Structure 1
Amino acid sequence: MISRLPRFAPALLALLGSCTAPGLLTGINGLLPGDAGAHRIAEAVPFGPSERLKLDVWSPRRAGHALPVVIFLYGGGWVAGSRTDYGFAGSAYAGQGFVTVVPDYRLVPTVRFPSFVNDGALAVKWTRDNIARYGGDPDRIVLAGHSAGSYNAAMLALDPHFLRDAGVPAGTIKAAALLSGPYDFYPFTEMRGRDALGNWPRPAETQPINFVGRSSPPMLLATGSDDDIVKPRNSQALAAKLRANGVPVELKIYPGKSHIDTVKSLSRPFRKSTPALADSAAFLHRILGS
């Protein structure tokens, strides 16, 4: 006998035919209970001059006091992605007690490096200036991301000129929890890296690892051992450079896990596939003392 389909099966089947893979995760996520009352409290808020530069804000149940803030930058090889597809990530971190900002940024081929990093800096500035109105603490802002989003976050955390040029005070970013990111990958051996970064006349300035210093913020770097898209050596090399400069760092390599597994495990249906959410949230709370 065929078992009965769950009550949300018709909605799930509709999603299967209409969504990107991250969008599907967000759709399924919305059909399942959990994440401690996390919900989106602001949608499509403009934060820059481009029509694309909008963000969503997610929050747990209001706590009666200002909460720490995560800015989550999604991946997609700098050519794809949308904040609406990554609602599952906003819900995940909100469920861990953070007000969570999920911004869009401009994509290749419309722009090239460093425009997408500059967009991230504008999102940080908006967050610093406005997040108190949404229950967040502007003095406890951290970054999180996956893949190309982890690259953008690493550049914002490590190369101070991006935030300085956007008018963000030094020391605003207290920590970063980055999943499966490229940090040390020149010369560019694959098309997406060449398309996004190969235009820049000084390639060393495109590599996050080159900006590590003693004042860099603490970082958690998580990756899968079987990641064949962004090799684990990126996280290993950045972790070693941070340690050499006396910067607190945790390196997590999840055995047998792929590039997608780390971000997929932020969604409720796949939460047990890696401990990326629990590891990153615990690290960020520990650094913030929250």
Structure 2
Amino acid sequence: MKYINILFTFINLLFVLNVNAGLLSNLGSIFSNESNKGKDISFGTPRKLDVYYDEKGTDSNNLKPVVIWVHGGAWVEGDKGQYANFGKVLKENGYVGVVPDYVLFPFGKIDTMVNDIYSAIMWTRENIAKYGGDPSNITVSGHSAGAHLIALTVLKAALGYKNKGDYLEPLTFLKKLVLLNGPYDFDDYSLIKQLFNFPVSDGIVEEAITMLLNDKNISPTDLLKRFNNKSVGSLGIPKIVFFYTSEDIVVPPTSADGLISEIERTAPETDIRYIYLHNMNHNTLTHGVKNDEDEFKELYINLIQM
């Protein structure tokens, strides 16, 4: 038993180093017989991404729409391997799926996560045609913390905010954002703590909450509040879909109200769609897709197609 515990500790250490520092290749690929083609691709940061596409061949005259999936996990947990089913579902439904990792707290802060998401989006535009994807038809979708990071990345780029000391090129080539159960305001300690509803060190939780409360450039809503009515005009993203559920006690649906209001006030050209479904909690959709349940795979594709 002693040696088994040591083995599992070692494997966990390898996993943390791999996801957050990019020091080791993905263990799942090492121990499986699945082809590494399209797996663990570098995209300009220490993290890696996976591409789900038709490996039988690509047709440059019939490129497929692309969806980038960004996982949640309260900025402290999760990895692309856990969400492989999202890539598979996208591939099965005629898309090219891109699933990146991003640095997790405490190994990196929000600005480094934004840099990872931005780099994954830019890599996709520049390289996805090689996998049969259309670089002019890219949707970015994410859940919970992933939805927050997508919104923050797009707004920082569109509004001219620096990230890690550099301005980001506006992501005007994106077609759509599909944001699931995302938190966008961080003014209430008790609401923020609800995000960490899974086993994680109390010390890390308190550090993460402090980070979220004290950084004034973390809330997408707050970024827009500094602009006058109709002064933005367009965010460069034609459509944004917000998805919430009635039984979500982790992120209340009201989290999007402020952000939607600010988008409508400052960038009225944006087409906003709001979907609210009953009898589902914070993770019903994502767990359903991960568990290969047809009902939720169909729901996710329907949201992407809106």
Q: Distance in 2 between matches of 1:47 and 1:40?
A: 16
Q: State which drifts further: 53-62 or 121-130.
A: 53-62
Q: CA deviation at 1:63?
A: 6.6
Q: CA deviation at 1:48?
A: 2.6
Q: Which runs of 5+ in 1 are unaligned?
A: 1-26, 28-38, 284-290
2:218 is equivalent to residue 199 of structure 1: no
Q: Distance in 1 between matches of 2:206 and 2:67?
A: 29
2:170 is equivalent to residue 174 of structure 1: no
Find 1:44's aligned residue among 40, 46, 49: 40
TM-score by length of 1: 0.74
Find 2:83's aligned residue among 73, 81, 86: 86
Q: Is the 8 A contact 1:82 1:104 kept in 2?
A: yes
Paired amino acid for 1:214: G
Aligned to 2:294: 271
Taking the TM superposition and a 5 Å limit, the aligned residue runs for 1:35-74 are 41-50=37-46, 53-60=47-54, 64=59, 65-74=62-71
1:274–1:133 CA distance, 2 compared to 1 (3 A): closer
Paired amino acid for 2:283: I
Q: Which runs of 5+ in 2 are unaligned?
A: 1-27, 29-34, 197-204, 225-231
1:44–1:109 CA distance, 2 compared to 1 (3 A): same
Alignment deviations for residues 121-175 of structure 1 (CA, whole Å, 9 cap, x no partner): 1111211211111111112222000111111111122221459947655412221
Q: Is the 8 A contact 1:146 1:180 kept in 2?
A: yes
TM-score by length of 2: 0.71
**For the aligned residues, what is the CA RMSD?**
3.1
Aligned to 1:124: 121
2:223 is equivalent to residue 222 of structure 1: no
2:301 is equivalent to residue 282 of structure 1: no
Q: Distance in 1 between matches of 2:179 and 2:36?
A: 22
> What is the percentage of aligned positions where both structures have the same residue?
28
Q: CA deviation at 1:42?
A: 0.3
Q: Distance in 1 between matches of 2:248 and 2:187?
A: 18
Aligned to 2:18: none
Q: Count matched residues.
A: 246
Alignment deviations for residues 76-109 of structure 1 (CA, whole Å, 9 cap, x no partner): 1111111111101111222232211100011011
Q: Is the 8 A contact 2:111 2:164 kept in 1?
A: no
Q: Distance in 2 between matches of 1:97 and 1:70?
A: 10
Q: Is the 8 A contact 2:147 2:181 kept in 1?
A: yes
Partner of 2:222, secondary structure, is helix
Aligned to 2:277: 254
Q: Distance in 2 between matches of 1:103 and 1:144?
A: 12
Partner of 2:90, secondary structure, is helix
Q: Is the 8 A contact 1:163 1:169 kept in 2?
A: no
Paired amino acid for 2:277: Y
2:94 is equivalent to residue 97 of structure 1: yes
Q: Distance in 1 between matches of 2:57 and 2:303?
A: 22
1:200–1:241 CA distance, 2 compared to 1 (3 A): closer
Partner of 1:266, secondary structure, is helix
Q: CA deviation at 1:178?
A: 1.0
